[in-house]
Structures are given as C-alpha cells and as structure tokens.
Amino acid sequence: MKKQRVIIIIGLVLVLLTSIQVGSWLGYQRLEQNARNELFRYQASLEELLDRFSLIPPVLAANQLFVDALNYGAEDQVYRANVLLQGFADRMHASDIYIMDTLGITRMTSNWNLDNSFLYRDFNFRPYFQQAMQGRAAIYSALGTTSGVRGLYFSYPIIYQNSVIGVLALKLNIPDLETAWQSPYSEDVAELMVTDEHGIVFLSTREDWRYRSTEPLNHETILQLQQEQRYGEYRFEPLQFSRLPSRFGMSPDTWQVIWHNGSSINQYLAISGMAPMVNWEMTVLVPSKRIWLQQLRTLATLLSIYIAIVVLWLFQQERSHRLQNLVMHQRELEQRVLSRTEDLEQSNLQLMREVDERHRAEQELKTMQEELIQAAKLATLGQMSASINHELNQPLTAITAFTQNSQKFLQRGKTEAVENNLKEILALCQRMHTLISQFKIFARKSPHKLVMVELQNVIHNAVHLVQSGLENNNIQFYFSLPETHAFILGDMIRLEQVVVNLLSNAVQACQHNSHIRIKIALQQLEDEYRISVIDNGPGLDQEPEQVFEPFYTTKSVTEGLGLGLSISRQIITTMNGRLQAEYSDDPEFPGALFRIYLPVYHVADHENTV
C-alpha cells in the first residue's frame, strides 16, 4: 500500500507539471492566433482605407476648375471650386478637402463657409505640403492646428504645364476610425496602437496611450515635431512598458510586456507588423490572463484522465489479489469480473464519445474562424459590380433585340433569318464571355496584351452592335473612312466598348430629335489616327473636361451612373492614346464632338505581330 501511494503521488506531481506546461503552450498558441487575426484585420482595414483614399487626390488635382482658380483667382471660379470641394467632402465622408498655393496658403477649401475655415491658413510647415511641392504624393498623420482633431492627410501636387502650381490635400478624422475599431472579432479584448516613424502613438483603441512614445525621444526629434506642429503641445511621455522573457509556447515574433498603469499592472501578449503603404508600425496587445484559464482547463482534463487511470490500475491490483485468494470461488469471481468489465467498457465508450465530441467542437470553431476571415477577404469583390454592369449593358441590349426579331421571324417562317440572328447572339455571348474574363479594375493597372487592331473593323462592329439594339429607325449614320487599312496596337474588345459608349451617348442625346444623324470619321494625322464621333443633338452644356469626371451624368438614375466616359478615357489611356470632348463648329452636326487619338502601328516596321 505504501508503494502504491508513492507511485500515485509521483504521478499526480507529473500531471500538475504537465498541465502547467501544456496549458501554457496551448494558451499562448491560442492568444497568439487571436493576436495574428486581429493584426491581419487591422492591417487589411487600414490598407483598404489608404488604398481607397490615396486614389482620390490625383483625380481631384486634375480638375480643370481647380487649375484655373489657382492660375487666375477669379471670384466666381474660387466660389465654384469651394462649393465643388464641399460636395466632394460630403460624398466621400472626408473631414476636409482644401487646395494651397505654392506658398502653402489655403486658397480653396470645403469648409469655406464655417467659422473655423482653412481659408488663407498657412500650412507650408507641414511635410505633406512640402513633399507634394516636390511632385510626389504624401500620406501624413498629425493633429489639426485649426480643428484640434487628429487626422490622416492625403496630398497630391496640382500640375500645370509641367510645373507644380499648388497642392490638394484631403483629411480623414482618426477618431472616426478608432470608433470603428473598438469591437474586435475575437473573444479576447485586443488593444491596438499605431506608431509613426518616431515611435509616437497617434492612433490607438486606448485613449490613455495616445500621444505617448514607446521610447524616450531625443532633443532633435522633439524639435522637429515642434517645427512641424504635428501633435500640438503634447509632451510625449513614454509608455511604461516592460518587456518580459519569452515563455514556452511563444513564437519568435511575439513577446510579453507589462504595462504599469499607476497602481495596476497589466500583462499582454504583443505582436506587431508594418502598416501598408506607410512607415507606421501596428502593434496588437492581447491580455495574458486567459492563459491561466487554459491551464486550469488542461489541469482538469489531465487530472480526470489520471484519476481514471489510477482507478483502473487500483482495480486491476485488487482483482489480481482477489484471484489469488479466491481460487475456490472462481465462478462467482468470473461473474463479477464480467460485470465490472462491461461497466468499464461502457465508461471507455463514453469517454471516447466525449473525446470525439470535443474534437468536433474544436474543428467547428476552427472552421468558423476561417470562414470569418474569408468573409472579410471577399467583402471587397462587390466593388466590381458597377463596372461589370456598365460593360455588359450594350451586348445584353443587342441580344434582347436579336431575340425579339427571331421570335417575329419564326412566326413568319423565316428560318434563315432566325439562324443568322442566332449566330449573332452566339457571337455576342462569346464576346461577353471574353469581356468578363478580361475585365479588370483599371485603378490596379492590371497588365493586358495589346495586339494589332484594324480601326475600320472596330467602327463597323460598334455601329452594328448599336444598331442591333435600336428601336428608332430614324437614325442615320454617316461614315468618313479611309480606303487604306488603319492599324493600331490595342485591345479590340475594349476599343469597341469605347466606340459603342460614344455612339450610345450620341443616340440618347438626340432622342428628342425627329431625325437623328451621327457622323463617324477616321483620319490619319502624321503618327496618330483620330476617330471623331459627332451628332446633331443639343451639344455640351458644361465644360468639355467635366464630362469625364466620375459620376458625372445628365441621365436619370435608371439610365446610367456617370461612369462610362471616365472608364472610356482610362481604356484609351492604357492604349497610349487620349479621349477628348470638344465643341462642334459644324452647322450640320451641332452636337457633342468626341475624338479618340491613337498611335499609328506601322506593320512594315514590326516582323512579329499578332
């Protein structure tokens, strides 16, 4: 009996030590996975935000109204620019959008009509202004000198005749972003802090960590921050973080820290990574207190198993003793053994079922976590729907027209005409399949292969596609095409889409005319071809360049989103060409005039062409 007690005590000690080690390892692994998930979520959210808003200043800086207002400073131009900036800021949920001249003085701003307006404020001390004046885009974090609100600043130079004449800046309020990040996905309350290149916390889910530094700052850094007026009058007191040695179960890229918050001490598991597009470090800190709960769960599990093993072992010892002493009562003993063996088998089966259920629960939890992360990754795919709808609208209209015509031909018994229409529908379906497979968002600058394209074929295909979807028979197309073949390097499907868009716009612009006339001309101008599309409609009622702005449209909401001309210009740009709108001086065609310029492709100079 004494020997058995010693063995049981030694086993119990081993179980306790194993529970502590295994529980610690499992706890750190779980905390580390949660921290990595949180860091990935924060990085993905910040990357999406920076990527989306960094594209806006270059587009706004190219607006001709802002260029003219900076060059000439006319009151009506400045007023229109202020109203336009105010509208952009409201639609984009930006705090402020403003334009500075080369001296850093604000000349136009979205908050022009507020008491704390930026008008005539001097921001030449800001690095985002200085970097933009050097011709580069900039992203900067700072405390607003006028509003007193932390923000992310996106700036871009305004260029006129290859010279920087001003800077356009867009500000997002950081407190709005912090509010959106207050509820992490994991059950552990993770904390986030984002530090700039000097180690200063400018964004955090904890208010008492903001405007503090991870390390003491030297005098030169403090002087630089004061010159930039980056964080106002804050003194950047260091955070009381103490780093602890690595523990069993921790990966090399994670570490433990203790934060001394007055009289209380908080322990965290930390992991960090660089923010996308900027020189910022993102650190996620998860409380380490849940490791003790994992250790207790592990101890309870192992202790239960150990008790079961000890019971089985003692039972086996007792049974052997009884067999030796009760040989004469073998039958009775065998009956008891069988009865108890059956109980043990039921216990083992129950234990196996519980283990299987635990494994299934762990697998379901893992699957749910993976689906949650995958859902965040797939959320951005919905941004492609507007462009796909616009690109497929014209082929679908033509397919509808061919189908309706086929029904009438079937009623009349004209099977040959029906067969021709079905061939056209098949060709359009194949074109739509090719279009969908090749469709990419132009802002990502995805590479595509340019091949030799004949412009006469492009024009005839586009006119044929538009005519197939027309119900109005009072439309006349006039062609002025050269007899010689006109070749360029381009994408035939996308180029046809541009011409179809221009022709469709012309038809819609002339829809109130009794007779619609559209002229398509192709000319060679030295080393480039010019395609002109002009109608007899009312013409342009705005500045020509304004029609290429995203979401600009004169149609109703059901007829279009105002993306067609903007996307068309991007398509022509990818083919090293340009798309322009002009006023017409032709009395027979007084409507809108659109011209496409594309470089000439000399077949004789290229031996390997597609």
Spatial distance between the Cα atoms of 543 and 152, rounded to a whole number of angstroms: 32
Query: CB of 277 within 8 A of CB of 55?
Result: no
Spatial distance between the Cα atoms of 516 and 507, rounded to a whole number of angstroms: 7
pLDDT average, residue stretch 3-11: 71
Long-range contacts of 133-138 (CB under 8 A, 24+ apart): 133/102, 133/157, 133/164, 133/167, 134/164, 135/159, 135/164, 137/54, 137/57, 137/58
Spatial distance between the Cα atoms of 84 and 73, rounded to a whole number of angstroms: 16
Cα angle: 107, vertex 109, 112; to 5 degrees: 100
Spatial distance between the Cα atoms of 319 and 336, rounded to a whole number of angstroms: 10
Cβ burial 40-79 (10 Å sphere, 16+ → b, else e): ebbbbebeebbeebbebbeebbbbebbbbbbeeeeeebbe
Query: CB of 96 within 8 A of CB of 89?
Result: yes
pLDDT average, residue stretch 566-580: 90
529: Cα within 13 Å, side-chain hemisphere = 24
Enumerate the β-bridge partners of residue 7: none
Query: pLDDT tens, 392-434?
Result: 777 788 888 889 888 888 888 888 888 888 988 888 888 777 5
pLDDT average, residue stretch 461-481: 79
Long-range contacts of 402-409 (CB under 8 A, 24+ apart): 402/428, 402/468
Residue 416 CB neighbour total at 10 angstroms: 9
Identify the CA nearest to 500 among candidates 437, 450, 432, 568: 568
Mean pLDDT lowest among 55-64, 186-195, 372-381: 372-381
Residue 360 CB neighbour total at 10 angstroms: 10
In 238-364, beta strands by DSSP E: 241-244, 254-261, 264-274, 281-287
SS3 state of residue 478: strand
Residues near 347 by beta carbon (within 8 Å), at least 6 away in sequence: 308
Residue type at 477 in one-letter notation = F
Amino acid 78: pLDDT: 94
- Check pLDDT > 60 for residue 442: no
SS3 state of residue 579: strand
For every residue of 529-570, DSSP letters joined together read EEEEEEESS---SS-GGGGGSTT--SS-TTT--S-HHHHHHH
Query: The tokens 């299987």 sit on which residue?
Result: 356
Q: Exposed (0-12), middle (13-18) or buried (19+): which is 297, by Cβ within 10 Å?
A: middle
What's the per-residue H, E or C state across 195-260? ECCCCEEEEECCHHHCCCECCCCCHHHHHHHHHHCCCCCCCCCECCEEEECCCCCCCCCEEEEEEE
Cα angle: 99, vertex 105, 109; to 5 degrees: 35
Pick the more confident residue, 416 or 167: 167
Long-range contacts of 389-395 (CB under 8 A, 24+ apart): 390/560, 390/561, 390/563, 390/564, 390/567, 391/435, 391/439, 391/497, 391/567, 392/432, 392/435, 392/436, 394/465, 394/466, 394/469, 394/497, 394/500, 394/501, 394/504, 395/428, 395/431, 395/432, 395/435, 395/465
Amino acid 452: pLDDT: 92
Confidence of residue 459 (pLDDT cuts 50, 70, 90): very high
Of the ranges 96-100, 174-178, 245-249, the best mean pLDDT one: 96-100
Question: Whole-structure pTM over 0.85, yes or no?
Answer: no
Cβ burial 181-220 (10 Å sphere, 16+ → b, else e): beebebebebbbbbbbebbbbbbbbeeebbbbbbeebeee
Confidence of residue 69 (pLDDT cuts 50, 70, 90): very high
Identify the CA nearest to 11 among candidates 355, 297, 308, 249: 308
Residue type at 574 in one-letter notation = T
Query: CB of 491 within 8 A of CB of 563?
Result: no
Amino acid 127: pLDDT: 92
- Could you tell me the strand order of the sheet in which 138-143 lies? 106-109, 96-100, 163-173, 150-160, 138-143
pLDDT average, residue stretch 277-292: 78
- Check pLDDT > 80 for residue 577: yes
Q: List domains and CATH numbers for the chain.
A: 55-176 (3.30.450.20), 177-291 (3.30.450.20), 445-605 (3.30.565.10)
Task: Report which DSSP code applies to 173.
Answer: E
Of the ranges 4-8, 447-451, 487-491, the best mean pLDDT one: 487-491
Query: pLDDT tens, 197-218?
Result: 888 888 888 888 887 887 888 8
Q: Of all helices (H) and strands (E), which one includes residue 518?
A: strand 516-525
Q: Strand 487-490 relative to strand 451-454: parallel, antiparallel, unpaired? A: antiparallel
Spatial distance between the Cα atoms of 148 and 143, rounded to a whole number of angstroms: 6
Spatial distance between the Cα atoms of 576 and 220, rounded to a whole number of angstroms: 48
The per-residue pLDDT of the chain, averaged, comes to: 79
Spatial distance between the Cα atoms of 504 and 549, rounded to a whole number of angstroms: 18
Residue type at 57 in one-letter notation = P
Confidence of residue 443 (pLDDT cuts 50, 70, 90): very low
Spatial distance between the Cα atoms of 462 and 456, rounded to a whole number of angstroms: 10
- Check pLDDT > 60 for residue 604: yes
pLDDT average, residue stretch 324-349: 79
Considering the chain, what percentage of its residues have pLDDT values greater than 90?
A: 26
Task: Report which DSSP code applies to 1.
Answer: -
For every residue of 52-111, DSSP letters joined together read HHHTHHHHHHT-HHHHHHHHH--HHHHHHHHHHHHHHHHHHT-SEEEEE-TTSBEEEETT
Considering the chain, what percentage of its residues have pLDDT values greater than 70?
A: 78
